[in-house]
Structure 1
Amino acid sequence: MSIRIIDSHTARQLPWKNGKGVTLELAIAPPGAGLDDFDWRISSARVAGAGPFSHFPGIDRSLGLLSGAGMRLHLPEQPSLRLDIHNPVLSFTGELDVQAELLDGPVQDFNLMSRRSHWQHRLQYLELQGQQWLDSSAVLFIYCCSSAGLTCTRVDSAPIGLNAGQGLLLEDEVGPWRLTSQGRSGLYLARLAPATAGQEVVC
């Protein structure tokens, strides 16, 4: 059981697997794992130009948009995928040869990856004004990406405030959790659960 506030401004900076950029590692399991042996990983990266994505065999990936106009992902023998404010989450497998094309300048992305033999995940974008209740899951990461900020509260705990660029990582913590925003707040919810045949991760 664990509750941690994670700040992107102090996150560890690491090179991409293909060496063509830098990523901010927000959380990884198990602790100390590398790019070839993690069970799941949450990160953020600035994409400044067109180019290939790194290969991650055995990994499922979901991508969110934090800033910028967005990008188009070209996949082999499949229709391209567009990541923008109207379609803020994309999912694909790490084995694919993916080429990124920027729509209009650099972007900052949010990246959730999990090893499909061990974990299943779901990434969801929400715009919250007021409050919403969240059920618990094995791992839940709440990431605030707008200046309005968020307050996260559980019945038996003190409120936890999040500003833009901060996330709350909950591992095996029983919910429900109440999210409250005084203005309109954008956030990403990353949910992970152990992989089980026929199981889906639901929000």
Structure 2
Amino acid sequence: MKVSPAVRHLRAQDAQRVRWRNGLGWTREIYAEHAVGDDNWSWRLSIADIEQPAAFSRFEGVERELMLLSGDGLVLRFEDGQHADLQPPHARLRFDGGRAVSGEPAGPGVSALNLMWRAPQIVAETWHRPLVGTMVVFVDPGDCWVVHVLGGHARLIGDSVPAHAEQGDTLLLYAHQARTRYVLDGGGALVLARFSPRQDRAPAGDLPGGI
């Protein structure tokens, strides 16, 4: 749902459930960003539901980051012998989407937040942050900031367009014609991601009172 031309509120219940590209599992697609006139997405955000050991789809030229959302843990086994154990509550791993890898859930199944972006086009930075009170986010033209609510709630306040996001919801924040300041308020935990066109730029880093 568009709150304004620069803000989108994606509700958890509106995510579309689709098959993995290799047909071995299911994912809930939250959003895929497409450039004008391009049928291929430049970055994508989804939640994978992994109920049994399965090979992941391979995406050449794509970087991806996987974060455990729920369940007792997920072991990622790569074809070259590397393995990673994602433990609760929210362990994560960034890796080349073209690598052959399978996932083995602990217990009856897990869900994992899956961020993917085309590395030749996009630079991605991610943070896992508590939200206690207010947080300020500055969005530059051409960038998109993703605010995914892991737990609790978050709302845009002050000079921002009002929007209230509950657990599982996602906010997409874009700039107006110039750098745009957004103020988040609430309580809980967030995943924040910044997707930027690839160019020489300094990382956002950790700034007092904001990101």
- For the aligned pair, the TM-score class normalised by the smaller chain equals 0.7 to 0.9
Cα offset for 1:86? 5.6
Identical-residue share of aligned pairs (%) = 26
Q: What are structure 2's unaligned runs of at least 5 residues? A: 206-210
Residue 33 of structure 2 corresponds to which residue in structure 1?
A: 29
Q: 1:179 to 1:157 in 2, by over 3 A?
A: closer
Q: 1:28 to 1:106 in 2, by over 3 A?
A: same
Q: 1:104 to 1:164 in 2, by over 3 A?
A: same
What is the aligned counterpart of 1:84 among 72, 83, 87? 87
Q: 1:9 aligns to what SS in structure 2? A: helix
Q: 1:201 to 1:158 in 2, by over 3 A?
A: closer
Asked if structure 2 preserves the Cα contact closer than 8 Å seen for 1:23 and 1:43, the reply is: yes
Q: Does 1:177 align with 2:179?
A: no
Q: What TM-score do you get using the length of structure 1 for normalisation?
A: 0.86
Residue 195 of structure 1 corresponds to which residue in structure 2?
A: 198
Cα offset for 1:112? 0.8
Asked if structure 1 preserves the Cα contact closer than 8 Å seen for 2:146 and 2:171, the reply is: yes
Asked if structure 2 preserves the Cα contact closer than 8 Å seen for 1:89 and 1:123, the reply is: no
Residue 11 of structure 1 corresponds to which residue in structure 2?
A: 15
What is the aligned counterpart of 2:67 among 64, 84, 91? 64
Alignment of 1:145-156 (within 5 A): 145-146=150-151, 148-153=152-157, 155-156=158-159
Q: 1:199 to 1:115 in 2, by over 3 A?
A: farther
Higher relative strand content: 2
Q: What are structure 1's unaligned runs of at least 5 residues? A: none
Residues in 2 aligned to 1:201 and 1:94: alpha-carbon distance in whole angstroms: 24
Asked if structure 1 preserves the Cα contact closer than 8 Å seen for 2:58 and 2:98, the reply is: yes
The size of the alignment, in residue pairs, is 197
Asked if structure 1 preserves the Cα contact closer than 8 Å seen for 2:159 and 2:183, the reply is: no
Asked if structure 1 preserves the Cα contact closer than 8 Å seen for 2:149 and 2:167, the reply is: yes
Cα offset for 1:33? 6.8
Residues in 1 aligned to 2:184 and 2:10: alpha-carbon distance in whole angstroms: 17
Q: What TM-score do you get using the length of structure 2 for normalisation?
A: 0.83
Give the letter for the 2:123 counterpart.
Answer: Q
Q: Does 1:129 align with 2:137?
A: no
Residues in 2 aligned to 1:33 and 1:145: alpha-carbon distance in whole angstroms: 31
Residues in 2 aligned to 1:33 and 1:66: alpha-carbon distance in whole angstroms: 31
Q: Does 1:2 align with 2:6?
A: yes
RMSD: 2.3
Give the letter for the 2:147 counterpart.
Answer: I
Q: 1:135 aligns to what SS in structure 2? A: strand
Asked if structure 2 preserves the Cα contact closer than 8 Å seen for 1:71 and 1:100, the reply is: yes
